[in-house]
């Protein structure tokens, strides 16, 4: 596969009280077009990515809104895939181009969830689990907490190790003007923050917020960007944790990663930079192993030694990740892909990973019931 990332854009995530979902869509579209050598008329297909508009706003399809707000008159698709929707939307757009159906696609991820009360946001997140789990009051945090407890017991990981993930991601975010929380955090602050679902703490969790991100993808041409999507992978798993054999790993990630690596002809050791789905700190620890970077149980050593920090041998979440950029569920996967494209085009400013030419983005839906892994690389421009 060779599908080029022509432009990236979006708004800074956060509690965006003055912006409605239509405003967010327009702002992200305007930003990506600003970075694009062309205008909306050059786009033939729009792929919309959202998770909670039905729940938060009572809008069950964004297609009429996009038609109206953006004045877009081409083909419109809408993708769904829990809070991995953005990752799947990028992949669907790439498939549309690779198949020849589309020439140039705008991928637009948007979420407007901040109007809900915190407890209503927890209800929305719980709705990503199995229906029996929802019935009993289980939460996304409680599922990751059960995984964290199992992982910590199995591999001798402490709350301080988990805190190191949040600390690293905040440090990266302090170099990212688009991050929701661009300030440093200490291990003590993270490890001693309020419990949300034991053993997980408030500062192990990403904030669920508003946001919008966009990408323009196109077929390779004479003046194309050198950043290419070269491999797609997707994986799924049973929605109930109790049905899974192993709680120290996400099978959906392993499946998606294997498919993406094979499709791209790339090994995990060749990845220079990765954006992973750190919805809770434990999720990043598991991702480092499930994506094949570290062997099972070894992620803690990587994190303790700073190997995943900026300047380490495999920087993970140079943007600050979901933890410090904010997690706008329907948009995040698009933001992750955009960050990798920015890194590979060496335009990430202070958070630039040196000599990055192969990158990976990883989006997980819910408790690991679905996953999208996308591999990017820079293609040398022919002279």
Percentages (nearest 5) of helix, strand, coil residues in the chain: 40, 20, 40
Closest to another protein by CB, 147 or 344: 147
Please give the residue ranges that form the binding site for another protein (CB under 8 A): 55, 117-120, 122-123, 126, 131-139, 141-142, 145-146, 149-150, 152-153, 156-159, 161, 194-200, 202, 238, 240-243, 247
Least distance to another protein, CB of residue 119, Å: 4
Closest to another protein by CB, 106 or 197: 197
Least distance to another protein, CB of residue 190, Å: 13
Would you call 231 exposed, middle or buried from its count of C-beta atoms within 10 A (0-12, 13-18, 19+)? Answer: buried
Closest to another protein by CB, 12 or 55: 55
Closest to another protein by CB, 232 or 247: 247
Q: What region, left, alpha or beta, does residue 321 occupy, with left being phi > 0 and alpha being psi -120 to 50 degrees?
A: left
Question: Is 59 within 8 Å of 65 (Cβ atoms)?
Answer: yes
Question: Is 129 within 8 Å of 254 (Cβ atoms)?
Answer: no
Least distance to another protein, CB of residue 251, Å: 12
Closest to another protein by CB, 37 or 195: 195
Closest to another protein by CB, 35 or 189: 189
Distance CA 125, CA 101 (A): 34
Least distance to another protein, CB of residue 253, Å: 18
Least distance to another protein, CB of residue 86, Å: 24
Residue 306, phi then psi, degrees to nearest 5: 75, 20
Least distance to another protein, CB of residue 21, Å: 19
Six token digits for residue 137 = 């009051």
Q: In what order do the strands lie in the sheet with 370-378?
A: 75-79, 45-49, 104-111, 211-218, 3-10, 227-236, 370-378, 358-365, 273-275
């Amino acid at each position: 596969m060779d599908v080029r990332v022509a432009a990236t854009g979006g708004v800074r995530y956060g509690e965006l009280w003055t912006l409605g979902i239509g405003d967010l869509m327009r702002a992200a579209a305007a930003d990506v077009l600003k970075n694009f050598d062309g205008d909306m008329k050059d786009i033939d297909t729009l792929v919309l990515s959202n998770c909670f508009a039905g729940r938060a706003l009572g809008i069950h399809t964004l297609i009429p809104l996009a038609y109206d707000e953006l004045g877009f008159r081409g083909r419109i698709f809408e993708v769904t895939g829990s809070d991995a929707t953005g990752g799947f939307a990028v992949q669907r757009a790439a498939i549309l181009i690779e198949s020849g159906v589309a020439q140039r696609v705008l991928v637009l991820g948007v979420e407007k969830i901040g109007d809900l009360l915190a407890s209503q946001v927890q209800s929305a997140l719980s709705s990503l689990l199995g229906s029996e789990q929802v019935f009993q009051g289980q939460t996304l945090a409680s599922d990751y907490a059960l995984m964290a407890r199992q992982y910590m017991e199995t591999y001798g990981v402490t709350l301080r190790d988990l805190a190191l993930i949040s600390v690293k991601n905040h440090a990266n975010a302090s170099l990212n003007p688009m991050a929701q929380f661009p300030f440093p955090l200490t291990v003590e602050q993270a490890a001693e923050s309020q419990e949300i679902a034991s053993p997980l703490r408030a500062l192990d969790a990403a904030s669920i917020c508003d946001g919008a991100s966009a990408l323009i993808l196109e077929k390779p041409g004479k003046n194309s960007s050198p950043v290419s999507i070269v491999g797609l992978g997707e994986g799924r798993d049973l929605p109930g944790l109790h049905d899974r054999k192993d709680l120290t790993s996400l099978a959906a990630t392993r499946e998606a990663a294997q498919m993406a690596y094979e499709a791209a002809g790339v090994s995990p050791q060749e990845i220079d930079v990765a954006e992973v789905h750190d919805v809770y700190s434990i999720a990043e620890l598991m991702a480092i192993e499930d994506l094949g970077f570290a062997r099972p149980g070894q992620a803690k050593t990587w994190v303790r030694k700073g190997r995943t920090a900026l300047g380490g041998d495999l920087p993970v979440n140079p943007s600050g990740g979901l933890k410090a950029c904010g997690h706008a569920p329907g948009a995040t996967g698009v933001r992750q892909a955009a960050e990798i494209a920015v890194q590979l085009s060496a335009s990430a400013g202070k958070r630039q990973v040196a000599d990055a030419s192969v990158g990976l983005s990883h989006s997980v839906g819910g408790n690991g019931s679905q996953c999208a892994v996308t591999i990017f690389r820079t293609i040398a421009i022919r002279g």
